[in-house]
Amino acid sequence: MPIADPAAPGVSTGGVTDGGLPSDGAAPVGSPEGAAGRDGRPLRVLYLSFFFPPSRASGVFRGRATANHFAQAGWDVTVITAPREFFSHYLEGGSDETLEATVDPRVRVERPPMNTYHWETDIRRFSRLRKSVPVVADRFYRRFQSWFLPEHYIGWVPGLLARAFKLHARRRFDLVVATGNPFVSFAAAWALGRAWRVPYVVDYRDAWTFNQFTEQVRFGPGTRTATWESRVLRDAAEVVFVNDGMRQWYAERYPFAADRMTVVPNGWEPEFIGRPEFRAPDPDRPLRFGYLGTVTPYLPLDILFEGWRRARTDPLMAGAELHVHGHLGFFAQTAESLREQLAQHESVGVRYRGPFGKADVAEVYAETDALVFCVPGAKYVTSGKVFEYMAAGKPVVSVHEPDIAASEVLKGYPLWFAGDRLDADAVAESFVAAAKAAREMDPSRHAAAQDHAAKYTRSATLSPWEARMRKLVEESR
């Protein structure tokens, strides 16, 4: 086992959402209707989601929405996630406290202790063994990784398993669902499903053995990681992907599981932005374009800014500003270089507005005339932000390769502007076309855009999946 640090994050105390059982020892139950089993009790699901509120990681919104949707459908939902301190202490700026309040109160959130060996840099928090013989401790840690699974999140697994078995002993779970990354959650779901003889399902928010941004295989056949993936997929009751491109890649690689592979696309949450009313851009001020989301080195920023610079010479774009809302990277070491890159373009109206809480997202959309959808160029990338962009009913400028998975979602959106290639000239043309559409916006086009987005609410995308899971549990009993 990894060397435990004495000050590793532990379990919060307090109510159900802090990881403890209610004071009377009873688990909270969902609605008596919907997901009740033949014995009349709510079906019980254990959801393994490392990134869960208050984490601000991009995948947290799918995890939050899944837990909430199952609870609202009548399931008794327990989420096992990382300790809160992992996001606030080890990932600087990794928390969005406003998100935690949006978790359905019927969802029990468990935060078992986690070994933070890889993440800990403060020598005062090292274990006694690590302080005394650091080389031996490091060798031991790496040996454990090579023996089990080479992921630094592996320190989450022992606490996860211990807590899961304790909860299952008190009241049996009917289903285990795991979302990745990290993919140690998949390995844990496999172990729990086999031990408890209950079905388990894995949800690929990201690809495991290949990089969906570069389309390069990361772990080839014969590697320990590929062996684990094959093992997990062999026994999974269902394998879920966020887009069909990723499903097809995995179906070709693991044909024995292809008939159990499905797509559950991302979506958007009406509770955050509702159905915004039509508001024409102020004719007396320049247009305001907006990018919302985490800025990372993977984004085609050079092409975005050069295209913006060229577009701004058009009279329609005179004085226009590009507001960037969001965190700069997921780690402190990348933030400064990204900040400098943004600052280089302030002379042409690029403004970094900083991060925003999820509760404030409606206000950000309201003050924006058109939106910029900039994502890494790979055909397996969808991004959750595209659904929310469409729901805002604003012109959307695409800055990405034309054949990515998100393009399938945007087809049919009446205010989508994208070139047939990714270069500065095509991006500039899209900006100018979007500016024209913004100035000519009327209530009917705004409503048509929102009608297209309505097909992708979280309820619309998650309801068929939840129904399948209910059927799966009943058939497995």
Whole-angstrom Cα distance, residue 100 to residue 90? 18
Q: Which structure tokens are listed for 190?
A: 């496999």
Mean pLDDT, range 10-15, rounded to an integer: 34
Mean pLDDT, range 417-429, rounded to an integer: 96
pLDDT of 473 reads 96
- The answer to whether the pTM exceeds 0.85 is no
Amino acid at 296: T
pLDDT of 5 strictly over 60: no
Q: Please state, in angstroms and as integers, the Cα–Cα distance from residue 45 to each residue in 53, 362, 425, 468, following that order.
A: 18, 32, 50, 13
Tens-digit pLDDT profile for residues 280-298: 999 999 999 999 988 988 8
Greater confidence (233 vs 93) lies with 233
pLDDT of 54 strictly over 60: yes
pLDDT of 220 strictly over 60: yes
pLDDT of 120 reads 65
Tens-digit pLDDT profile for residues 310-324: 999 999 999 999 999
What pLDDT band is residue 331 in, cutting at 50, 70 and 90?
A: low
